A = this chain, B = another copy of it.
Amino acid sequence: MHLLTVDTLEEAQNKIYAYLAKNPLKTEKVALSSAFQYILAEDIHAPFSVPHFRRSIVDGYAVNSLDTVGIGESIPCFLKILGKVEMGEENTYAINRGECVYVPTGGMIPGGADAMVMLEYTEKFSENEIACYQNVKHNQYVVEIGEDIAEKSPVLKKGTVLRPHEIGVLASLGMGEVLVYAKPKVAIISLGDEIIQAGQALTPGKIYDINTFGLYTQAVKFGFAVHSCYHIKDDRQVIYDVLKKAVHDVDIVCVSGGSSQGEKDFTANLLGEISTTGVLTHGIAVKPGKPTITAYNEDLHCLLLGLPGHPVAAMLLFELLAVEVYKKIWNVPQPVLVAAKMACNFPGADGRLTCQLVELERNENSYTAKPIFGKSGVISSLAKAQGYILVDMNSEGVKKDEQVLVHLL
């Protein structure tokens, strides 16, 4: 039997990082409306000031604020209306003391005016005169040029994940498309004579393919693009041929299944052959996930992952090895985790990083994390879990009521 020299998660990640980081990062331009969840591949600076003209934030009259000094509900001042500016139009008026111009919300403030009086606090006296009952200060209800964002100032950093709000920011800067990191292309290969596909009859000894669907969706969730899925029976030549093809097509090949020791060695040998580096990691100190294999093909810039057959472990290791290393390369900030109190004592696994699925229970303004236990736990635990905690390999575990951070699934 082959003796595994087990890597820590960090060692395994660093080996992958060292190879991935040598490659130029692939980027592409995407239309802003399609950019959701892509990662920004350029620093964005404001190409112009926002707002780029003095803007009103109320409906009313642009005035010289000095005209409103000392006035109030019972002591109005009277102002001559020079005219009205329409939305989207340049305001070419210039007012003097005692004059005003009607400006709608979002409209441009005319020259000579330094504040807005709200419509509610005015009364129209005649076609071209108002009584104004509001004392306004310099700049009141006016947004100055660049007050929101100064021209050339930094707005969004390279590595930002684009959510609706960032898309809104980019839209405000007039960007119709944006430079993002290309989604890494993934091939998913499920091995095993016991695996059958939906629609096929379930006979004793067989199980339905879980990992193809779990990994497919995990890849989509994290912004990777699934290029192809294969289900192959345990035939060395066929597996070799598929691997040889896949390594040309994609950035990451994920092989899963082959859960017996013999099959794992077999997968390791094949991945080693297909790579240029040989097997980098064979065995990783993560629970679950020990039988994980990594290798790299430098000529084709392709990461080769041999993932565990256990679906929870396969999905987790895809996240920890592929997603986390790409995020590090792209400089993506750590996502927000959910702080929760541990519902009970939870022991660490000596010498291994433990990834424990948890249920989250809300109690008014806080959460409790309850570990999901179970011998096999594969399917039923998946349906219950809302997240997972990572318990460090050198930790003695987590005590009841201790604060933990939960990664959401």
Binding site for B on A (CB under 8 A): 1, 32-33, 35-36, 48, 50-53, 55, 57, 59, 85-91, 104-108, 119-120, 143, 147-149, 155-156, 162-177, 192-200, 202-218, 220-221, 229, 234, 259-263, 309, 311-312, 315, 334, 336-340, 360, 362, 365-367, 374-380, 382-383, 385-387, 403-406, 408-409
Contact = CB atoms under 8 A, between A and B. Distances in A.
25 contacts: A48-B202, A59-B261, A88-B193, A89-B193, A106-B207, A108-B204, A119-B261, A162-B217, A164-B217, A164-B315, A165-B214, A165-B312, A165-B409, A167-B213, A168-B211, A168-B214, A168-B382, A171-B208, A171-B214, A172-B210, A172-B378, A172-B379, A336-B387, A339-B339, A365-B404
A167 to B, nearest CB: 4
Contacts of A229: 33
A169 B218 CA distance: 13
Given A88-B205, A171-B198, A106 B148 contact: no
A88 B165 contact: no
Contacts of A405: 365
Contact of A260 (B59, B198, B215, B406): B59
Contact of A309 (B86, B106, B210, B362): B106
A12 to B, nearest CB: 21
Contact of A375 (B52, B147, B366, B383): B147
A-B pairs, 9 with minimum CB distance: A176-B198, A88-B194, A104-B260, A168-B214, A171-B213, A164-B217, A88-B193, A90-B204, A164-B218
Given A89-B205, A155-B379, 19 more contacts: A1-B119, A1-B120, A32-B198, A52-B202, A55-B376, A59-B261, A87-B205, A88-B192, A104-B260, A165-B409, A169-B379, A171-B212, A172-B210, A336-B386, A337-B338, A338-B338, A339-B339, A339-B340, A365-B404
A165 B382 contact: yes
A409 B162 CA distance: 11
Nearest to A382: B165
Nearest to A166: B383
A202 B217 contact: no
